[in-house]
Amino acid sequence: MTEQDEALQQLHERAYAAVDEGELSNAAHDFTALLEQVPENPYYHYMQGLVHKYLLDWPVSLRHNLQAIELSEEFSQAQHWNAAIAATALGEWKTVRELWSACDIALPEGDGPIDGDFGVAAVRLNPWQGSETVFMRRIDPVRARLLNVPLPESGHRFGDIVLHDGASTGSRFDGEREVHVFNQLGRLVPSEFQTFVVFVRADSEGELDALLKATAPGIGYAEDWTRSIRHYCMRCSYGAPHRHDHKEDKESDWQTERNLGIAAQSRKSVEKLLKDWASGHAGRHVDAIETREHTPPACVPGGSWWMSLEDEDEGEEDDEESAENEET
């Protein structure tokens, strides 16, 4: 092996190691150097596209994935999926449809954005900074509309259309079956519904259900966070079964004080909904209505946030907050 070959091999190993360690900027630099020496290598183009996917740099990701497809002798699902994700982020629908068709994925007819029904799944919001997992209805292979009311701190809303990755990192029970969990890669279309944090007291589950099932103009969805928010250790969140040393808490008696998330178009809509609910009922009380607006946290490079625990070395367990609506 010549010195040039040895240097190329060292650069190759360093680039792949940087990806594994979450050092994406270094990986992008090294794959650029590799492609300067071996510009026709489809694997390096694919890896550069992958790196820039997790940097959320969509034009560069799309360019390299398409180059990998062109240079590859055999069909690659991974290349097509990553190219389709990047093209979706950029709204290049002609390219998106061509890529999904190449993967034999049936799509609704048309030449614009895809609006189909690809089933219910779960999505881990802002996976690079903490994590809240909510249910979503997929309208195409990598776009979905949120079905839960996320916590305001997530910067997301009920009804947001989000872009998600193609690889599952775990599973959740949606009330009927186990569904895949995907990492979110961005919010594409913000919802018209604001999130209102509401504190009420209800003497019974029936009193509360009357509020949760009520409909009114301007109200999108009301969720009982006291019941739906669960805390998972990281292994449980990623669907990696293991044994807990402590005993699971049993279902306690009814808690009168309830914390709700209500998706609504205006505060007036929420006030009317609550006034109608509480009016004339001794067992129903409204304590406060709050709203906080947050922007989604920026993705700061560092750490392999996109990897499932099956791909990582075993480490310490961390708690992360996940929102799960068992009735969805």
> Is residue 261 predicted with pLDDT exceeding 60?
yes
CA 113/CA 107 separation, integer angstroms:
10
For the domain spanning 3-102, the CATH number is: 1.25.40.10
Q: Provide the residue ranges of all domains of the chain, joining segments of one domain with +.
A: 3-102, 115-242+253-328
Quote the tokens at residue 232: 């998972």
Q: What is the pLDDT of residues 22-55, one digit of tens each?
A: 999 999 999 999 999 999 999 999 999 999 999 9
CA 45/CA 83 separation, integer angstroms:
11
Give strand pairing partners of 145.
137, 161
Q: What is the pLDDT of residues 188-214, one digit of tens each?
A: 999 999 999 999 999 999 999 999 999
Element at 320 (helix H, strand E): strand 319-323
> Is residue 243 predicted with pLDDT exceeding 90?
no
Give strand pairing partners of 135.
122
Element at 186 (helix H, strand E): strand 178-189
Mean pLDDT over all residues of the chain?
Answer: 88
Phi, psi at 70, each rounded to 5°? -65, -35
- pLDDT > 90 fraction of the chain, expressed in percent and rounded: 76
Residues 6+ apart with CB under 8 A from 111: 93, 94, 97
Q: What is the pLDDT of residues 275-295, one digit of tens each?
A: 999 998 999 999 999 998 899
> Is residue 152 predicted with pLDDT exceeding 50?
yes
Element at 198 (helix H, strand E): strand 194-202
Give the predicted TM-score (pTM) of the model. Answer: 0.87
Alpha helices in 131-284 (DSSP H): 205-212, 225-228, 234-237, 267-278
User: So what's the pLDDT on residue 316?
Assistant: 28
